[in-house]
Amino acid sequence: MDKQNITVLGIESSCDDTSAAIIRDGVILSNVVAGQKVHEEFGGVVPELASRAHQQNIIPVVDRAIKRAGVEKESISAVAFTNGPGLLGSLLVGTSFAKGFSLASGIPMVEVNHLKGHVLALFIRENGVEFNPPKFPFLCLLVSGGNSQIILVKDYLEMEVIGQTIDDAAGEAFDKCAKVIGLPYPGGPHVDKLAKLGDPSKFVFSQPRIPDLNYSFSGLKTNFLYFLRDNLRENENFITENINDLCASLQFTIIEILLKKLKKAAKQTGIREIAVAGGVSANSGLREALKQTAVKQHWNLYIPKFEYTMDNAAMIAITGYYKFLKGEFARQDIVPFAHTQL
């Protein structure tokens, strides 16, 4: 197939961000993301409200993405959409939109696994920016609100999970611990900000002892909660007086846990091409720690641009592009899945 002028419209609606993006021949032309403020007062995503907001957002977001890209609707070759994992009601909105767009335009649909999308965000090219993607095979630490995995990436669409969390994800650990110290949802970015002002060695929290390349964050969460409970008994202002140090120490522990297994995976596989992806890879402490580890371990490190680490449709469009090249299309009777594996 001729690889020129393949224009993919990507749709992402797996959680609480409605996003649409246009990618032509692997180069990003637009990436529009509409967040949903409606969840803030609930301290977490309310699935029913999320799907309603997606319904309101999807058409204006797609319209904006097409206009911003400066392409004609008729020039779009395929529509790629997230079909899981995610919230079922949210996924249904994107999937239904993709079906309608595909039928109305007479173009194929491409289903995209959200987690693969996070990994392939590393391959989004930007006009005028040097393109330096990881070389296969590489290891990708995928850390988001729903996942913490170490993935062996053998090719664009050939990936193997070699380690993963057995309970909570790293993003959940950030968000749930942030909630108990009164920070707004999602807590990860707030912890990141306050951690910059605190002492990471002030408090010591527990780290899991589990075999292989797997992760666990539920013990840390419980340890953090009990630690606060005990200290609040003696000083009711403990949290406010120590919030920066609490954030710095919590963040330090999460990063230690993540890096320990990543180093082990690199050693076991002998791979030095190391990448990071997913929302938590926006964390400034994690980025810095990865850079320092890369120097010590002689890794080639790849970190996606900030806007491609969070949920976004550019990563769905780029994955759709590679699937399009392989002729992997979805049928009109496809349904989304809340719990799909990579």
Q: Which of 12, 111, 168, 192 binds ligand KG4 (CB under 6 A)?
A: 192
Compute how many other C-beta atoms are within 10 angstroms of the C-beta atom of residue 109: 22
Compute how many other C-beta atoms are within 10 angstroms of the C-beta atom of residue 95: 24
CB of 273 to ligand KG4, least distance (A): 22
Q: Which of 280, 290, 303, 317 binds ligand KG4 (CB under 6 A)?
A: 280
Q: Which of 113, 149, 283, 319 binds ligand KG4 (CB under 6 A)?
A: 283
Question: Residue 119 contacts by C-beta under 8 Å, 6 or more apart in sequence?
Answer: 140, 142, 151, 153, 159, 275, 277
Q: Are 132 and 124 in contact (CB under 8 A)?
A: no
Residue 146 binds ligand KG4, judged by CB under 6 A? yes
Q: Which of residues 204-223 bind ligand KG4 (CB under 6 A)?
A: none
Q: In this structure, what token pair is assigned to residue 259?
A: 């890096």
Q: What are phi and psi of 162, to 5 degrees?
A: -105, -5
Question: Residue 111 contacts by C-beta under 8 Å, 6 or more apart in sequence?
Answer: 80, 81, 83, 330, 334
Backbone region of residue 5 per phi and psi (left: phi > 0; alpha: psi in -120 to 50; beta: other values): left
Q: In this structure, what token pair is assigned to residue 26?
A: 């692997």
Q: Which of residues 11-70 bind ligand KG4 (CB under 6 A)?
A: 15
Residues in binding contact with ligand KG4, number by CB under 6 A: 19
Q: In this structure, what token pair is assigned to residue 295?
A: 């120097």
Cα→Cα distances 69→73, 283, 315, Å: 10, 29, 16
Give the C-alpha separation, 15 to 277, whole Å.
17
The residue type of 117 is G
CB of 316 to ligand KG4, least distance (A): 12
Q: Which of 108, 189, 198, 336 binds ligand KG4 (CB under 6 A)?
A: 189
Window of 124-132, 187-195, 226-234, 242-250 that interacts with ligand KG4 by CB under 6 A: 187-195
Residue 242 binds ligand KG4, judged by CB under 6 A? no
- DSSP annotation of 165 reads B
Q: Are 220 and 169 in contact (CB under 8 A)?
A: no
CB of 283 to ligand KG4, least distance (A): 3
Residue 186 binds ligand KG4, judged by CB under 6 A? yes
Window of 54-62, 153-161, 276-284, 326-334 that interacts with ligand KG4 by CB under 6 A: 276-284
Whole-angstrom Cα Rg for the chain: 20
Residue 310 binds ligand KG4, judged by CB under 6 A? yes
Residue 279 binds ligand KG4, judged by CB under 6 A? yes
Window of 102-110, 131-139, 277-285, 327-335 that interacts with ligand KG4 by CB under 6 A: 277-285
CB of 274 to ligand KG4, least distance (A): 19
Rounded to the nearest angstrom, the gap between the alpha carbon of residue 244 and the centroid of all alpha carbons in its chain is 25
CB of 95 to ligand KG4, least distance (A): 17
Nearer Cβ to ligand KG4 (53/282): 282
Q: In this structure, what token pair is assigned to residue 198?
A: 């605190």
Alpha helices in 70-164 (DSSP H): 88-105, 114-120
Nearer Cβ to ligand KG4 (14/30): 14
Polymer length in residues for the chain = 342
Q: Which of residues 152-181 bind ligand KG4 (CB under 6 A)?
A: 171, 174-175
**Residue nearest ligand KG4, CB atom distance:** 279
Nearer Cβ to ligand KG4 (58/191): 191
Q: Which of 117, 145, 219, 336 binds ligand KG4 (CB under 6 A)?
A: 145
Binding site for ligand KG4 (CB under 6 A): 15, 144-146, 171, 174-175, 186-189, 192, 278-280, 282-283, 310-311
